[in-house]
Amino acid sequence: MTTVLSRTEVYALLALSLACFGVLINTFQGDGEPLIASVAFSGLAFSSCYALIRWLGDAFMRRGFKGKDMCKLKQTEIPETMGAVCAMVYLLVLVMFIPWPFYKDIVAATSGGGNRDVMKELEEVDTGRFLHRFPHSKLASYLSAIISLQSIVLLGIGDDLFDIRWRHKLFIPAISAIPMLIVYFVDFGVTQVVVPTPLRAYLGELVDLGWLYYIYMALLSIFSANSINILAGINGIEVAQSLVIAGLIVVNDAFYLVFTPYPHPATDSHLFSLYLLLPFIGVSLALLKHNWYPARVFVGDTYCYFAGMVFAVDGILGHFSKTLVLVLLPQGFNFVYSAPQLFHLVPCPRHRLPHFNARTGLLEPSRVDFKRPLARPIAESLKLLHRLRLLDVETDEAGVVVSSSNFTIINLWLVWFGPMREDRLALGLLGFQAAVGGLGLFIRHRMALLIFTQDNL
């Protein structure tokens, strides 16, 4: 990869940056619309991330952050861990953005001298604030989100540096979630959940989960971050799947902002969600441009953790964690499908990425050979999966299972549709993911009334 930006790239990035900068300056006049500022910041995030990935590639390689692309004919080394660059740009943008949603509210609610005029603030609650302005108390949540994301970047870089063991990796998102959970505890502390209608006879309308709610939030972080980390291995898939997820959540947020009468308790939460997601989309697009087939950089575990944590933070602080789980269904399926190998019920090779056939230039499902015969129930289960077309199992004449395709959704796709080029494989998976996620959102809003007394849309 050349570290120099071409003339066209320089002009395009400069034009974009100037336009975004102009928009930002304009937000100072009038009410200073934070949502517009957020879009402008996302544009700036895109262009600076784009340029930095190019400028820093060589330095990363010199310091040992590099890897070989196993699915190519010519396996040249390319920079690794470039997700760290994205994450740094993203965090800086989140910080710079703070005055837009939080400043004006303070000025409006202050009688001067830096003391918050509390009575005035109460009055504002009655008369309604400007759309897109946050009450000051949201600042602590926002800052705690930044701390959690910074933590996962630090730990993710540690993982990329030191190759932490699998069983330790699992806890990286849990540790990073601590700042968010502690501020949630101190700041908000609501751990009651609405009970679905069929269960109300037994549990009442609300049930207080207490500390179980914190466990739930920590588990959600672990799931979100790791599920992206294991649906990985072919060019562009990590970033592109994150962009699909982010896109689906943005659509969901937009529904709330457009169709909900203002003021509504959900508006603030979904604005909060957008403010976190738009810059994420900016930096991810810049990374995808360099990571899409044929990849010129790798993203590293850092990016996967970071992206997963952005979603977890977004879902938890935006109070739509159940919707988040719906959007993550394909990742969830991949996790469940991978479980037999992850937990060593079935042998797990070091790499499970598809096999590159150098003659055809296409990817084929990679396989695991069973040197020792499998236990009877496991072998029978594999045969059943084969009949259900959920696995490709090979048996010898005696009917003994001798090999199978590896247990990832990526290999399964190749089992279903045959060998294909790397980018077509990625596109197929992304289309599938978008369809499942979109369906999930549709069902969530159409079916909510079946199990709850009201949809909060």
Choice between 165 and 371, CB closer to its own copies = 165
In angstroms, what is the minimal distance from the CB of 414 to its own copies? 35
Binding site for its own copies (CB under 8 A): 59, 63-64, 88, 91-92, 95-96, 98-99, 102-103, 106, 114, 116, 118-119, 121-122, 136-137, 139-140, 143-144, 146-147, 150-151, 153-154, 157, 161-162, 175, 178-179, 182-183, 185-190
- Contacts with 113 (C-beta within 8 Å, 6 or more apart), sequence order: none
Which residue from 308, 64, 317, 299 is spatially nearest to 170, judged by alpha carbons?
308
Q: How many CA atoms lie within 13 A of 404 on its CB side?
A: 29
Contact 357, 364 (CB under 8 A): yes
Choice between 34 and 365, CB closer to its own copies = 34
Choice between 99 and 204, CB closer to its own copies = 99
SS3 360: coil
In angstroms, what is the minimal distance from the CB of 140 to its own copies? 5
SS3 208: strand
In angstroms, what is the minimal distance from the CB of 122 to its own copies? 6
Choice between 314 and 392, CB closer to its own copies = 314
Choice between 153 and 362, CB closer to its own copies = 153
Nearest-10 Cα torsion for 272, 274, 278, 284: 90
282 token code pair: 């900016």
In angstroms, what is the minimal distance from the CB of 109 to its own copies? 11
Burial class (CB in 10 A: 0-12, 13-18, 19+), 127: exposed
| Contacts of the segment 162-167: beta carbons below 8 A, 24+ positions apart | none
In angstroms, what is the minimal distance from the CB of 228 to its own copies? 21
Q: What are phi and psi of 422, to 5 degrees?
A: -60, -45
Choice between 139 and 368, CB closer to its own copies = 139
Choice between 143 and 427, CB closer to its own copies = 143
Give the whole-angstrom CA distance, residue 323 versus residue 81. 30
Q: What are phi and psi of 179, to 5 degrees?
A: -55, -45
Phi-psi region of 395 (alpha: psi -120 to 50; beta: other; left: phi over 0): beta
Question: ∠ CA 316-321-322 to the nearest 5 degrees?
Answer: 165
In angstroms, what is the minimal distance from the CB of 155 to its own copies? 8
Choice between 157 and 286, CB closer to its own copies = 157
Choice between 217 and 385, CB closer to its own copies = 217
Terminal-to-terminal C-alpha distance of the chain: 47
- Contacts with 126 (C-beta within 8 Å, 6 or more apart), sequence order: none
Give the whole-angstrom CA distance, residue 245 versus residue 324. 9
In angstroms, what is the minimal distance from the CB of 173 to its own copies? 14
In angstroms, what is the minimal distance from the CB of 185 to its own copies? 6
Contact 54, 67 (CB under 8 A): no
In angstroms, what is the minimal distance from the CB of 254 to its own copies? 27
231 token code pair: 């649906």
